[in-house]
Chains A and B, each alone.
Chain A
Amino acid sequence: MSKAAQLAALIGSGQAQGNQNIIFNGAMQVQQRGTVTGITGTAYGSCDRFKLQMTNAGTWTASQDASAPSGFTTSNKLDCTTADASLAAADFMFYAQHVEAQNLQNLKWGTSSAKSLTLSFWVKSNKTGVYSTEIQHGDMGSGNYWNNNTYTISSANTWEYKTIPITGETSTAINNDNGIGLYVRWWLASGTDYSSGTQAANTWQGTAANRVKNGQVNLADNTSNEWLITGVQLEVGDVATPFEHVDFGTTLAKCQRYFTTYMDVGGFSMYADGYITATLANTFALPCTMRISPTVALVGTWAISNLTGQPTINSNNPNIINIYQDVSGSGRAYLYAATGDGFTADAEL
């Protein structure tokens, strides 16, 4: 087949059109939250859009790491700091990204034309053995909504490239909304509730015990364990194509739809000032329209004068946050963020 014919075939299949990676921040470039320590439950930490979720599977630190395969500069590292070598039946741990449903309408799932997907990634761990992956349909309330596969880490502490096929799901459409369309998961530890059955590779099924392959590695069994991942790509088609590198600014903007943080670096910003008799208030624009009105948290101790306390910060709009506080007496009142002060806005899935 000529090069032109190959390209035509790729375009016809929905691949090689640019913007092909369904995963955001697959090269682990953006890390707005920084290193997150002491993870024992569900936590978005370290590299944006990826989360760690577990029940009774030790304690973990998530960080951006400089170890990476050729062509990449960063990875997301999970480091076990408290071990759990004996998992109870319901205990588990996985790493995940949740994909917004309205970005998946081209998959045509829920129809006979449902498109297949291919997941590819680079992974490294001291812990060799068999691991499971999982795609969960986000809009199937019950039924065959899990598609599981395995990969094997063969060599300790060596970057390995893995590809996973996913058959398109033909029974149920992914809603065209801003909710979760797909859960993309990498199992890292599993109790028998999820692994006591028989896993059928790349098969849509609904039995919890079949989600994880028997013999799945328990990454939580030793504090020397670590697991690193980068180059994550989920794309339409049956073939994994080379990772689609995206400029940092584009990736950051994509991530800011789900989480954004603002920290003052110059010693003075987000200023509000006035001779007010009741409430000093201001609004600030978020860097992009977030997925939904975000949960907002104040960071640091803001500089204030003539106010009853630290500013109240909240949002009921995906574009704006509100900052306000009652004045404590007559005269000039002000507030501003000094170095290290700011806010976080969370609209994650």
Chain B
Amino acid sequence: MNITSAQYDTGPIGTNNMFVNIIIDGKAMAVPMQVGNRHYDEILRQVAAGTLTIEDAD
């Protein structure tokens, strides 16, 4: 998966990080922070490998 950007999103309530908004293969997607979601698993793998950094929420 070619993830070119990642940023936390606190959702509409705006308290805790709930999603990671990513650009993957050129497409914008909202990824729930749940292990077992294949995109979130890949985000965690790339962060652990040091190849991806998740930006703070706006």
Q: Which residues of A contact B (CB under 8 A)?
A: 41-42, 178-179, 279, 281, 292-298, 312-316, 322, 324, 346-349
What range describes how many residues of B lie at the interface? 20 to 34
| B1 shortest CB reach to chain A, Å | 7
Residues A316 and B19 in contact, CB atoms below 8 Å apart: yes
Residues B34 and A293 in contact, CB atoms below 8 Å apart: yes
Kindly report which residue of chain A lies nearest to residue B40, judged by CB atoms. A295
Residues of A close to B34: CB separation below 8 A: 292-293, 316
With beta carbons under 8 angstroms apart, the residue of A42, A294, A314 that contacts B1 is: A42
Residues B32 and A297 in contact, CB atoms below 8 Å apart: no
Given A347-B37, A348-B38, A295 and B12 contact (CB-CB distance below 8 Å): no
Given A41-B2, A179-B36, A346-B39, A297 and B29 contact (CB-CB distance below 8 Å): yes
Residues A297 and B30 in contact, CB atoms below 8 Å apart: yes
Residues A178 and B36 in contact, CB atoms below 8 Å apart: yes
Residues A295 and B31 in contact, CB atoms below 8 Å apart: yes
Q: Which residues of B contact A (CB under 8 A)?
A: 1-2, 9, 11-12, 18-19, 27-34, 36-40
Q: Which of B18, B33, B36, B39 has the largest number of chain A CB atoms within 10 A? A: B36
Residues A315 and B27 in contact, CB atoms below 8 Å apart: no
Residues A297 and B12 in contact, CB atoms below 8 Å apart: no
Residues B11 and A314 in contact, CB atoms below 8 Å apart: yes
Residues of B close to A346: CB separation below 8 A: 29, 38-39
* A279-B12, A295-B31 given; 4 more Cβ-contact pairs under 8 Å: A179-B36, A292-B32, A297-B27, A315-B30
Q: Which 3 A-B pairs have the closest CB atoms?
A: A314-B30, A293-B32, A297-B29
Residues B28 and A295 in contact, CB atoms below 8 Å apart: no
Residues of B close to A42: CB separation below 8 A: 1
Residues A322 and B38 in contact, CB atoms below 8 Å apart: no
With beta carbons under 8 angstroms apart, the residue of B1, B12, B27, B36 that contacts A322 is: B12
With beta carbons under 8 angstroms apart, the residue of A292, A314, A324 that contacts B36 is: A292
Residues B19 and A297 in contact, CB atoms below 8 Å apart: no
Kindly report which residue of chain B lies nearest to residue A317, judged by CB atoms. B32
| B41 shortest CB reach to chain A, Å | 10
Kindly report which residue of chain A lies nearest to residue B27, judged by CB atoms. A297
Residues of B close to A313: CB separation below 8 A: 30
| B37 shortest CB reach to chain A, Å | 5
Residues B28 and A298 in contact, CB atoms below 8 Å apart: yes
Q: How far is the CA of A14 from the CA of B39 in the complex (A)?
A: 36
Residues A314 and B32 in contact, CB atoms below 8 Å apart: yes
Residues A297 and B28 in contact, CB atoms below 8 Å apart: yes
With beta carbons under 8 angstroms apart, the residue of B12, B19, B37, B39 that contacts A324 is: B12
Residues B30 and A296 in contact, CB atoms below 8 Å apart: yes
Residues of A close to B36: CB separation below 8 A: 178-179, 292
Q: How far is the CA of A313 from the CA of B12 in the complex (A)?
A: 10
Q: Give 22 CB contacts A-B under 8 Å.
A: A41-B1, A42-B1, A178-B36, A292-B32, A292-B34, A293-B32, A293-B34, A293-B37, A294-B37, A295-B37, A295-B38, A296-B29, A297-B30, A312-B30, A313-B30, A314-B19, A315-B30, A315-B32, A316-B19, A316-B33, A324-B12, A348-B38
